[in-house]
Amino acid sequence: MVLNTCDKMAAGGIHDQLGGGFARYSVDAEWLVPHFEKMLYDNAQLVNLYLDAFLVSGDTRHADMVRDILDYVFARHDASGGGFYSAEDADSEGQEGKFYCWTKDELSKLLTVDEFNVAAKYFGVTKEGNFVDHSHPQPLSGQNVLSIVDPNIAVEDQPLLASAKRKMSDVRAKRIRPHLDDKILASWNGLMLGAFARASVILADEKYRASAEKNLQFIRENCGTKNPRHFSTAGVTASAIMFNCSKPMRFFCPA
């Protein structure tokens, strides 16, 4: 059951099929439509889930998903000095999911006919779309959250799918991206530190080990009691330390 859930999540819209990593949660039972916010702590815990899945199943798909998540973290959460940023928002330009979604017309204009036919089949793209932001007074129409609807792509069509993904990624990179929450929280960084360290051992990848060591050094230097700039009780219990790379700050939660 757990392995099946891992596979369904990886194929669903909760997983960013172009940029990697996972959104915060799904609003349906099919893992299709996510709340598009992407959190550091969720992705850290999912690394460990997919590492466990790989150890149990031996299926390289689960190891690949670990790499997918960590590549996303490197690309979007990696701060200078070794820390990791907290999150990416769900919306951009006032519309939830606008950065991530596609219309059929957009893709038909962007891709060649053959690329479009393969990509539309693979991702299940339709004119009606599969996502409506009911919280918005004027939701965008025809929006498609990408998910793997039909993975059975012929070998000779795989290059077409790869080409389509490259073009889509290039165009998406030019869109206005959701706001980056650049807080650096000690507790969430600790989760990601453990994820990188464990991945380095199980996947035998020194790149992950180096990242874990760098993050550990950052936490020790910036988020501990020995640094009075970043730690103070002040009548409350500090459950996490926030460090903004441009300006030291404190973050506290009530006891």
Residue 209 CB-density burial (10 A; 0-12 exposed, 13-18 middle, 19+ buried): middle
- Asked whether residue 244 carries a pLDDT value surpassing 90, the answer given is no
pLDDT at residue 243 greater than cutoff 60: no
Residue 235 has pLDDT above 60, yes or no: no
Structure tokens at 21: 């990593």
Nearest 10 degrees: Cα torsion 142, 148, 152, 157 = 70
User: pTM of the full predicted structure?
Assistant: 0.88
Report whether 107 contacts 116 (CB < 8 A): yes
Distance (Å, rounded) from C-alpha 173 to C-alpha 224?
A: 36
The per-residue pLDDT of the chain, averaged, comes to 89
Position 80 scores a pLDDT of 80
Distance separating alpha carbons of residues 223 and 225, to the nearest angstrom: 7
- What per-residue string of b and e applies to 158-193 under the rule 16 or more CB within 10 Å gives b? eebbebbbebbeeebeeeeebeebbbbbbebbbbbb
Helices 186-202, 40-57: crossing angle, 10 deg rounding: 20
DSSP string spanning 2-69?
A: HHHHHHHHHHSTTB-TTT-SB-SEESSTTS-SEE--EEHHHHHHHHHHHHHHHHHH--HHHHHHHHHH
Give me the pLDDT at residue 227, please: 56
Between the alpha carbon of residue 27 and those of residues 34, 120, 136, 144, 222, the distances in Å are: 6, 23, 16, 15, 37
Helices marked H in 58-127: 60-76, 104-110, 113-123
Residue 230 has pLDDT above 50, yes or no: no
Q: What average pLDDT does this structure show over 41-53?
A: 98
Token pair listed for 116? 């479009």
Residues with Cβ within 8 Å of 29's Cβ and at least 6 positions away in sequence, in order, are none
Specify the pLDDT at position 242. Answer: 43
Least-confidence region, from 49-53, 59-63, 146-150, 217-221: 217-221
Beta bridge partner(s), residue 35: 25
Distances in Å between the alpha carbon of 123 and those of 18, 48, 86, 103?
Answer: 11, 27, 29, 12
97-109 mean pLDDT: 98
